[in-house]
Structure 1
Amino acid sequence: MKYLFKVILLLLVATGLHIGQSYGQQQPAHSSYDICIYGGTSAGVIAAYTAAKLGKEVLLIEPGKTLGGMSSGGLGLTDIGNKYAISGLALDFYRRIGQHYGKFEQWVFEPHVAENIFQDYVRRAKVEVLYENRLIDVKKQGKLIRELVLEHSTGAGSNVRVSAKMFIDCSYEGDLMAKAGVSYAVGREANSDYKETFNGVQLMNGHQLPDGIDPYRTPGDPGSGLLWGISNGQLAANGTGDRKLQAYNFRICLSSDPNNQVPITQPTNYQPERYELLLRQMAKRDWKSLQDVFIWSGMPNGKTDINNRNGFSTDMIGMNWEYPEADYTKRAEIWNAHTDYTKGLLYFVGNDKRVPDHIRAEMKKWGYPKDEYVGNNHWSHQLYIREARRMVGALVMTQHHCQGKERVTDGVGTAAYTMDSHNCDRLIVNGQVKNEGNVEEGGFGPYPISYRAIIPKASEVENLSVPVCLSATHIAYGSIRMEPVFMVLAQSAATAAVQAIEKRQSMQRIDVKQLQATLKGNPLVNGSKPEILLDNSDLQAVQKNGTWRVETYGGYGPDFYVASPAAGLSSLKYQPSLTLSGKYDLYTYYPKQKDRASATRVDIHDGKQLYELSIKDAEVTVLGQTSGEWVHLGRYTFTAGKQSYVEISNQGANADVIADAVLLVPIEGFKE
């Protein structure tokens, strides 16, 4: 038996499979590493993969049992804003999602598909993962972190100590940076702090309750007490700062497949009185379907990604304010309360006799998915920690950076999403119940995120980066805090840490221009040939003829061009400058807009031969939080030099034609 175990162990090592990845490794293989990453979120996995592929010995520490954070925890409808913002391994992740579903890339997916891909990243890079260990102390020497002290996530057993040259905090809570003595903020800054306009207290109409809802258990009787979920606070002046947080929730995965369902039964600690406010809300609105209370988004294979909608839904408003700085016991209480509330809400909508019959019948068609979260009773392993601590670094990203009024030159990632905050409080305003804190302000293009925003001040810690709880105001963080952006910044942080080790420098003293060049020249960290992107506004590679107007919303990158047939013949010619001849998969970005041509003509010249194609609008399907998709134009062997081109024109069009970006992907790219 002892010999058999040795044979199995040798086979596992030979195939690159880490025992910890399969069975929940709880003790590190070594006491010291080059780079230690805390938090097995999507960002943590990408940081670990990056550092390992760049030749460093890496330890990834995950307090739970599952990798991927929200990306494998139910957030399958990717919040992105503009695909132009996503690069490197983050884009590789969505390409791998696409490969799973038989597409080029895809931004909607099932939780287990994401988890399997994250597991594959750590397997391919031979990353050591330490599961079920959480941070209890950080040992420093001067401005350097020397050692982390960990305990098992159950609190049992002896403590574990891990040292490293560099550390990366990829947790949603920012526990490592806080215990290392890094400055941080919790809550909302006042507008006056950074001369913003959308920070602090905001009473807006988004995800708001209808007028006239009585807040008391017995309507009109203050002595009966407030309904559950309403605070007794007073509404402060607009723009006032406080320590309140935007609400947390679970992004719920359910299944409509009767053969893949676990019934939604009455949960532990079920309290139907918690949902009285929902009934009062819907008494003032038409309740036609589940979509009137939930954002009920479809995922592949009959599943969902359910999010908060309107005034009373899955967000547990005002119940998370203590979470960022709470101890592990209190955090567990808050987490479990969110679980009880959410499962209770699903059961209530499907079973309470006060809910309309047709709504209960609609809910009865759904169940928890048998094939998801198998080790967690088919319920997500990750609460949506939309915001916890936020570092205060050498540079703080603000509303002005989001809107392009201030622009950094040391960008190591790009964001593009609307400045978005869920509600932070629910209170009485003029005798009626109102939600406060929701902000949804967009209308701006992609913008760079400063390297200085992911590292602490040099006076605090020199060997740490923080790509998730980065340095940003509440409202700027609302734009940046997207899973793909976290992955981009994590790759940048890991690459910077490797550079710092090799140059024997602090994280604050590395050459950022060299870092930017490394990220651009080796985006997949495997030496593969970078893809070639030609955006419509690239004046060096794009030749514009005729009359085109500029549109700024719904395309790829900052803008796209539109040509009307009435304006005469117009064309846009993309001419890549290729150093070597080679095979490429060719794509063009196709924004899905109203009143556009039923077909778009595309001419492709590979340097030797001309090909004429037509993109039929009816055949382009758009999935997810974007308004366009990459359309595959075929595989071509392009000749070195500038003889090759792709030309989009309005020739023969019956309505507006759109010209946006063109992408050449080397066929050996995005492969191991």
Structure 2
Amino acid sequence: MKQYDLVIYGGTAAGITAAVQASIMGKSAVVIEQSRRIGGMTTGGLGDTDVGMKEAVGGLSLEFYQRIAQKYAQDGACWLFEPKVALEVLQDWVAEHNLEVVCGERLELKNGVTRQGSRITSITMESGKVYHGKMFIDASYEGDLMGHSGVSYVVGREPNARYGETLNGIQPGPELNELPPGIDPYVIKGMPSSGLLPRVNADRGGDAGEGDRKLQAYNFRMCLTDNPGNRLMISKPEGYNEADYEILFRAIEQGQRSRFFKLNRVTADKTDSNNNSGISTDFNGMNHSYPEADYAARDKIWEAHRIYQQGVVWTIQNHPRVPEEIREAYKPWGLPLDEFTDSGHWPSQLYIRESRRMTGDYVVTEHDVRREHPVPDSAGMGSFAMDSHHTQYYVNEDGHVSTEGGFYIRLAEPYPISYRAMVPKRSECTNLIVPVCLSATHAAYGSIRMEPVFMILGQSAAAAAVLALEADGMVQDVEYGQLQAVLLESNQVLYTTGLSRG
């Protein structure tokens, strides 16, 4: 029986970074990735990096973006890049450190985690393969390993009252609406008896600040090109349902002429195309069951998002209810033939902006993000705005369709993220660290959930796991002074005042 020092579930950029750090510290590790492609969103189309404040990025995370720059023969760090180049950088790391990476293996969701007391001893895949480890890291976006290990977690939005926050729970409206005013919510305009449009709820589901289980929307970060020699046009997808785009048509009727999806160029002829308004590529309201769904149900959600988003592009480019000037403006864009060659040139990673969030002894809240109290055990820094995409459409007080759930609050400075936020409660598990689905509220996670931060925390999680392994084997007992020393030696940024990179 082979036993690894670290078993890392999730071949996201955070997972690969964790494995690199384990290798640097002389420990054996295996990375287990559900899909056929490593890197998660970093290689999955998110090439316009949500970096926040660059001075907060250090360690292997910064090295990744410096290596991107080297691929483009640039100096310093490069924050705009093609998916295939990001994949090359991670593959370089895998080769240089001789990392063991297993793709196409998924955790058995019913009985996939074996424990002895407070420790995980092995995890079993759907295929029957078993991976034994001394320490475990859940670097997945879904948090399946954490969620099936007896560790407490939440899904959705906490009420503001729970932690004394202002941004959590149901958001006030309709002042935060990102749709044109006046969109009729009924299938037949002005006729409530005809029923509500698809995905439109009768109300917000509660008062402002109340909690619920709704999630901010998912989508794909499309890499598009306007280079005819490297372009595959997006055709009308099989399963296209015109009713899914009625809000889009009515938004256009109410005056929307742009912002149907972003066209942020990452190179001269390629984009990272994200959601850009209240009716765009986000499939609002259609992901709420995803975190705790089984794989078959998740696959259906993935497919529904693909059909909807490809349908958005086709509709904007071709549908007769879209004015010709809008169609012509978006007509040049298609999928690059040299990207995602093993998935029909469509991104292989659905943007899981939020799933399970662990509930540890320490919960990061918007008070941490606003630096309203000290954090003495920083494992890395966040700096992006507190950012939530919409969770739903509903009929607002004026009787029109409105978005709900969105906020975007810029920060004045970076903030430290407590090591304790990656660690489960001692009574629940003592050899698991969670750098992605970590212990944070919906409001705070809206800032943390960025790829540079996930890489930062992945590296710190691996360093802490090694230190625990060399001590009493309990992640809760890692001596922070030792962890701090290792991280500063590794060029991590832990504080932007007082302490800096080592």
Query: What displacement does 1:233 show?
Result: 4.4
Match of residue 94, structure 1, among 48, 56, 65:
65
Query: What displacement does 1:323 show?
Result: 0.2
Match of residue 375, structure 2, among 405, 408, 415:
408
Query: What displacement does 1:399 show?
Result: 0.7
**Residue in 2 aligned with 1:144?**
119
2:429 maps to 1:457: no
- For 1:523 and 1:350, locate their aligned partners in 2 and report how far apart those are by CA, in whole Å: 47
Query: What displacement does 1:230 show?
Result: 1.2
Secondary structure of the residue that 2:133 maps to in structure 1? strand
* Counterpart mapping for 1:409-558 below 5 A: 409-430=376-397, 431-523=399-491
**Residue in 1 aligned with 2:140?**
171
- 2:378–2:495 CA contact under 8 A, matched in 1: no
Identity %: 47
- For 1:112 and 1:82, locate their aligned partners in 2 and report how far apart those are by CA, in whole Å: 25
- 1:407–1:447 CA contact under 8 A, matched in 2: no
- 1:425–1:435 CA contact under 8 A, matched in 2: yes
Query: What displacement does 1:285 show?
Result: 2.2
- 1:318–1:425 CA contact under 8 A, matched in 2: yes
Q: Please tell me the residue identity of whatever aligns with 1:485.
A: V
* Counterpart mapping for 1:90-489 below 5 A: 90-103=61-74, 104-136=76-108, 137-152=112-127, 159-204=128-173, 205-206=175-176, 208-287=178-257, 291-430=258-397, 431-489=399-457
**Residue in 2 aligned with 1:33?**
4
Structure having the higher Rg: 1
- 1:93–1:117 CA contact under 8 A, matched in 2: yes
- 2:154–2:359 CA contact under 8 A, matched in 1: yes
User: Alignment RMSD, CA only?
Assistant: 2.0
Secondary structure of the residue that 1:376 maps to in structure 2? coil
Query: What displacement does 1:263 show?
Result: 1.8
Residue by residue over 1:101-126, the C-alpha shift from the partner in whole angstroms, topping out at 9 and shown as x without a partner, is: 12221101100100111111111111
Q: Please tell me the residue identity of whatever aligns with 1:32.
A: Q
Q: Please tell me the residue identity of whatever aligns with 1:131.
A: C
- 1:189–1:240 CA contact under 8 A, matched in 2: yes
- For 2:256 and 2:215, locate their aligned partners in 1 and report how far apart those are by CA, in whole Å: 30
Residue by residue over 1:258-281, the C-alpha shift from the partner in whole angstroms, topping out at 9 and shown as x without a partner, is: 110112111111112211111111
- For 2:411 and 2:37, locate their aligned partners in 1 and report how far apart those are by CA, in whole Å: 36
- 1:63–1:134 CA contact under 8 A, matched in 2: yes
Per the normalisation by structure 1, the TM-score is: 0.72
Residue by residue over 1:590-636, the C-alpha shift from the partner in whole angstroms, topping out at 9 and shown as x without a partner, is: xxxxxxxxxxxxxxxxxxxxxxxxxxxxxxxxxxxxxxxxxxxxxxx
Mind listing any 5+ residue stretches in structure 1 that lack a counterpart? 1-29, 153-158, 525-530, 541-556, 558-662, 666-672
- 2:265–2:272 CA contact under 8 A, matched in 1: yes
- 1:296–1:305 CA contact under 8 A, matched in 2: yes
- For 2:300 and 2:372, locate their aligned partners in 1 and report how far apart those are by CA, in whole Å: 42
- For 1:470 and 1:400, locate their aligned partners in 2 and report how far apart those are by CA, in whole Å: 16
Query: What displacement does 1:207 show?
Result: 5.7
2:52 maps to 1:74: no
User: How many pairs does the alignment contain?
Assistant: 496
Higher RCO (C-alpha 8 Å, min separation 6): 2
Secondary structure of the residue that 2:134 maps to in structure 1? strand
- For 2:305 and 2:436, locate their aligned partners in 1 and report how far apart those are by CA, in whole Å: 22
Residues 107/284 of structure 1: CA separation in 2 closer, same or farther (3 Å cut): same
Q: Which moved more, 1:129-138 or 1:266-275?
A: 266-275
- For 1:301 and 1:162, locate their aligned partners in 2 and report how far apart those are by CA, in whole Å: 44
- 2:387–2:406 CA contact under 8 A, matched in 1: yes
Secondary structure of the residue that 2:8 maps to in structure 1? strand
- For 1:202 and 1:296, locate their aligned partners in 2 and report how far apart those are by CA, in whole Å: 28
Match of residue 57, structure 1, among 24, 28, 42:
28
Residues 135/286 of structure 1: CA separation in 2 closer, same or farther (3 Å cut): closer
Secondary structure of the residue that 1:358 maps to in structure 2? helix
Secondary structure of the residue that 1:146 maps to in structure 2? strand
- For 1:311 and 1:263, locate their aligned partners in 2 and report how far apart those are by CA, in whole Å: 25
Query: What displacement does 1:224 show?
Result: 1.5
- For 2:251 and 2:331, locate their aligned partners in 1 and report how far apart those are by CA, in whole Å: 22
- 2:387–2:407 CA contact under 8 A, matched in 1: yes
Residue by residue over 1:526-581, the C-alpha shift from the partner in whole angstroms, topping out at 9 and shown as x without a partner, is: xxxxx9x998x88x9xxxxxxxxxxxxxxxx9xxxxxxxxxxxxxxxxxxxxxxxx
Residue by residue over 1:275-295, the C-alpha shift from the partner in whole angstroms, topping out at 9 and shown as x without a partner, is: 1111111222251xxx42222
Secondary structure of the residue that 1:477 maps to in structure 2? helix
Query: What displacement does 1:500 show?
Result: 1.2
Query: What displacement does 1:54 show?
Result: 1.3
- For 2:360 and 2:194, locate their aligned partners in 1 and report how far apart those are by CA, in whole Å: 48
- For 1:161 and 1:490, locate their aligned partners in 2 and report how far apart those are by CA, in whole Å: 23
Query: What displacement does 1:206 show?
Result: 4.4
Q: Please tell me the residue identity of whatever aligns with 1:355.
A: V
**Residue in 2 aligned with 1:623?**
none
Query: Which of the pair is proportionally richer in strand?
Result: 1
- For 1:312 and 1:405, locate their aligned partners in 2 and report how far apart those are by CA, in whole Å: 35
